[in-house]
């Protein structure tokens, strides 16, 4: 191994072995850091998506409240229009000498009241249905936000797990390589822990 080591610019096999072990340790560290950063990056992406979904949920709930408020206003206006129409009918009947409290005159006003009630009820129903759809959409966004946050945490945990696996695998590989260097005589067993630290 001595001639091969010199061919790569090393003075002896021991130096080449130490450099090889050092490069191996750096590679293991870089791989582990890369796994962690990859997990963090994915977590940030999922968290961003989750925040967007949460914001959309807030917007849809605000829309639902606005829809109900607009519906209530329109319903009130419809009832008011009905009342105005009925008052005008009664005044016209009285001006024409018609008995306003009985017979067809009262029936006409009652018919107007019935139609007005139906219109108001329809306005109320349409607003409530639209608001319910917006609330359901908000709930869907909430669920998506929760899933995204969980996925982000899962990505981080996965990155940490990969990092740990990379360290264990790399440590095992370095240990085997170190044993081979000892067996070949390229390295000598350290007399103390301080000697061994020089390999890293």
The pLDDT tens digits of the residues spanning 84-112 come to 999 999 999 899 888 888 888 899 999 99
Give the residue numbers spanning the domain of 126: 12-197
> Domain for residue 184, yes or no?
yes
> Domain for residue 3, yes or no?
no
Confidence band of 159 (pLDDT split at 50, 70, 90): confident
Can you tell me the mean pLDDT for 4-10?
43
How many domains, the chain?
1
| Stated pTM of the model | 0.60
> Domain for residue 2, yes or no?
no
Q: Which residues does 20 contact at the CB level (< 8 Å), separation at least 6?
A: 177, 181
> Domain for residue 46, yes or no?
yes
- Among residues 55, 21, 16, the alpha carbon closest in space to that of 144 is found at 55
Task: Evaluate whether 163 touches 32 at the Cβ level (below 8 Å).
Answer: yes
Predicted local confidence at residue 155, as pLDDT: 80
Total residues found in the chain within this entry:
200
- Residue given tokens 């206003």 in the structure block: 73
Quote the tokens at residue 131: 């608001």
Ordered alpha helix ranges (H), the chain: 2-7, 13-95, 103-184, 193-197
């Amino acid at each position: 191994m001595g001639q091969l080591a010199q061919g790569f610019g090393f003075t002896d096999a021991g130096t080449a072995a130490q450099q090889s072990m050092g490069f191996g340790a750096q590679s293991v560290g870089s791989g582990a850091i890369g796994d962690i950063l990859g997990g963090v990056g994915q977590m940030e992406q999922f968290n961003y998506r989750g925040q967007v979904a949460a914001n959309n949920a807030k917007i849809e709930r605000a829309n639902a409240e606005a829809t109900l408020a607009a519906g209530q206003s329109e319903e009130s206006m419809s009832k008011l229009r009905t009342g105005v129409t009925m008052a005008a009918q009664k005044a016209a009947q009285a001006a024409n000498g018609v008995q306003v409290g009985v017979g067809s005159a009262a029936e006409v006003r009652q018919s107007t009241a019935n139609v007005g009630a139906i219109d108001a009820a329809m306005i109320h129903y349409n607003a409530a249905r639209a608001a319910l759809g917006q609330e359901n959409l908000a709930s869907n966004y909430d669920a998506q936000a929760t899933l995204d946050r969980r996925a982000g945490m899962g990505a981080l945990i996965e990155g940490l797990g990969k990092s740990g696996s990379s360290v264990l695998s790399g440590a095992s590989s370095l240990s085997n390589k170190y044993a081979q260097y000892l067996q070949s005589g390229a390295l000598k067993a350290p007399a103390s822990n301080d000697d061994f630290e020089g390999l890293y």
